[in-house]
Amino acid sequence: MTALIFDCDGVLADTERHGHLPAFNATFERFGLPVRWTEQEYGEKLKIGGGKERMASLFADPAFAAAVGDADRTELLLTWHKAKTAAFKQLVADGRVPPRPGIARIVHAALDAGWTVAVASTSAEESVRAVLETAVGPTTIPVFAGDVVPAKKPDPAIYALTVERLGLDRADTLVVEDSRNGLLAATGAGLRCLVTVNDYTRDENFDEAVLVVSELGDPGRPPIEVLANRGAARPGDYLTLDDLRACLEEPR
């Protein structure tokens, strides 16, 4: 049976710029922390997998560490991250985090065709479920997220877990990612990967991806841009299930 596994952030919705970044900054302000991330600075932080891990990187700055003092860093990070997750979920609920083109169409088409569909992300599970419901509507799609694995992407653990729990055949499973870390996680788990880039990731190296596109696309939108194609798919103005299935075939 064909399976489709989606990353969340940057794949289901444009979450980084419109959701996570403002949620981080709102959290910093709420707790009086001496930091505000610009879009450029946050782009660098995206190289670190996981929200708590991005926050933890702040302690590398001696001035920040001194300002925070000798409090238990583990407890601080848990408190900050819980507040950040709540702020992010509110932004999603307020309609501030737009779903990416083609997601709802492809997910529903795949489900109607009998495909297995899942989401695998190392973001907080609450955040992932909020984005998924906003992007595709109420759903019972399985979600593997948060701290269910000990290591974040680019470690392949989250995809290995998804394959194991759902009993998937790797040869019939396609991952949809948006970043090099995600691509490495997917291919490290022995899975083929389609990449839909965003403004933060467009210039990353995606040499291992079978197909790299600007977005999944939708009828009535401008044609998608195919940035690299190493598979059998021959996309038109937007991707279809046939294109995704072709990503699992050997190139003609």
Pairing state between β 173-177 and 116-120: unpaired
- Which residues are CB-neighbours of 79 under 8 A, at least 6 positions away? 31
Q: Which two tokens stand for residue 164?
A: 């194991």
- Angstrom distance (rounded) from CA 244 to CA 233: 7
- Which residues are CB-neighbours of 118 under 8 A, at least 6 positions away? 3, 4, 5, 6, 141, 142, 143, 144, 162, 166
- C-alpha distances (whole Å) from 175 to each of 70, 104, 224 are 42, 16, 19
Pairing state between β 116-120 and 143-144: parallel
Which residues are known to be catalytic?
Answer: 7, 9
Instruction: Give helix 125-136 / helix 103-112 axis angle, nearest 10°.
Output: 80
- Angstrom distance (rounded) from CA 53 to CA 55: 5
